[in-house]
Amino acid sequence: MQSHVRMLAILDLFDERSLTWTVDEIHARLGYTRSTLYRYLKVLTDAGFLTSLPGLGYTLGPRIVELDYKMRASDPLIQAAAPVMAELVADIPGVALLCRIYRQKVLCVHQESSNAGIRSTYERGRARPLLRGAASLAILASLPNHQIGRLYKAMPEEFAAAGLGSDLAAVRSALKVHRQAGHVVSFGQVSGGVMGVAAPLFDARPEVIGSLNLTVADTSGNRHRLEAMIAQVSFCARVVNKALARGT
CATH number for 172: 3.30.450.40
Same domain flag for 20 and 107? no
Query: Which pLDDT belongs to residue 226?
Result: 95
CA 166/CA 146 separation, integer angstroms: 18
Same structural domain, 107 and 136: yes
Instruction: Assign 173 to helix, strand or coil.
Output: helix
Residues of the chain with pLDDT under 50: none
Is 222 found in the same domain as 131?
yes
Q: Cβ distance 185 to 134 under 8 Å?
A: yes
Nearest to 193 by CA among 160, 168, 220, 166: 220
Quote the pLDDT of residue 57: 93
* Residue 69 falls inside a structural domain: no
The predicted pLDDT at position 120 comes to 67
How far is Cα 4 from Cα 67, in angstroms, rounded to an integer? 19
Q: Domain check: are 31 and 108 in the same one? A: no
Q: What is the pLDDT of residue 7?
A: 95
Its sign, for the CA torsion 204, 206, 209, 212, is: positive
User: What is the C-alpha to C-alpha distance for residues 30 and 3, in angstroms, rounded to an integer?
Assistant: 13
For residues 58 and 172, state if they share a domain: no
Query: For the chain, what is the domain count?
Result: 2
144 and 121 in one domain? yes
Regarding whether 141 and 118 lie in a shared domain, the answer is: yes
Same-domain check for residues 187 and 100: yes
Q: Does residue 133 lie within any of the structural domains?
A: yes
Residue type, 34: R
pTM for this predicted structure? 0.86
Could you tell me if 126 and 237 lie in one domain?
yes
Is residue 70 one of the residues assigned to a domain?
no
We report the CATH number of the domain holding residue 36 as 1.10.10.10
- The answer to whether residue 136 sits within a structural domain is yes
Q: Give pLDDT, residue 1.
A: 63
Q: What's residue 248's pLDDT?
A: 56
* 68 belongs to a structural domain: no
CB distance 80 to 244 below 8 Å: yes
How far is residue 198 from each of residues 27, 171, 174, 233, 234, measured CA to CA in Å? 42, 19, 16, 7, 8
Same domain, 57 and 81: no
The predicted pLDDT at position 141 comes to 95
Q: Does 141 lie in the same domain as 29?
A: no
Final residue of a domain: which of 63, 89, 110? 63
Its domain, for residue 141, covers 75-246
The per-residue pLDDT for 114 is 84
Q: Is residue 17 classed exposed, middle or buried when 0-12, 13-18 and 19+ CB atoms within 10 A define those classes?
A: exposed
What SS3 class is residue 17?
Answer: coil
Residue 105 lies in a domain: yes
Pair 52, 131 in one domain = no
Q: What is residue 119's predicted lDDT score, i.e. its pLDDT? A: 66
What confidence score (pLDDT) does residue 205 get?
A: 86
